[in-house]
Amino acid sequence: MKNILVFAGSNSKNSINKQLAEFTAGLVDNVKTTVLDLNDFNLPLYGIDYEIEYGIPENAHKFLEAIKSSDGIILSLAEHNGAYSTVFKNLFDWMSRINGKLWSEKPMLLMATSPGARGGATVLEIAKGRFPFMGGRIVSDFSFPSFNDNFSEGSITNQDLHTALKNKVALFQNAL
């Protein structure tokens, strides 16, 4: 059985991106799912002076090991001011100091959502442009618009979006 790693690029306790990522993982057949929460991987802000003095924190190593031991990744990115959330960017920076190809060529379903109609499209485009240089093998991506209008009680309420996501999940599943 394949093991997929599922997480949101957010530290919000009520993250809409985590809700979307977990829902999406439920659409993947015959896999073991490991859901990680960035709140369980506290890290100091990355800085070269800190790294020289203290080394790379254990939580960065633990998260990177979770990536390496998975067969695929479902990641939904929060968009803050058109870019990655600070907590995600910090984790990304720390892991890249361990291994520049941190995504380890694992098949990835890359997503984003937001309350707005663009559904995190800007951060998704940034990640799609950057991740391949960092060992990211994005096999499918999905921008989920207007989260609060299209998701309720743990499920997608808009049938067209639900069908579109199932098609993206099928591409991810086939790449596992």
Give the C-alpha separation, 2 to 83, whole Å. 31
pLDDT of residue 4: 98
For residue 36, give the 3-state DSSP assignment: coil
Give the percent of the chain with pLDDT over 90.
Answer: 100
Identify the band that residue 165 occupies on the pLDDT scale cut at 50, 70 and 90.
very high
How many degrees, rounded to 5, is the angle at CA 63 between CA 61 and CA 68?
A: 90
Q: What average pLDDT does the chain have?
A: 97
Confidence class of residue 82 from pLDDT cuts 50, 70 and 90?
A: very high
pLDDT in tens, 63-72: 999 999 999 9
- Class of domain 2-175 as given by CATH: alpha beta
Residues 6 or more apart whose CB falls under 8 angstroms from that of 52 comprise none
Question: Which pLDDT score is estimated for 79?
Answer: 95
* Residues 98-146 pLDDT 10s: 999 999 999 999 999 999 999 999 999 999 999 999 999 999 999 999 9
Average pLDDT (36-57) is: 98
Reference 20, options 128, 168, 171; nearest CA is: 168
Q: Note whether 91 and 77 are within 8 A (CB).
A: no
Which DSSP string do the residues of 45-62 spell out, in sequence order? PP-HHHHHHH-S-HHHHH
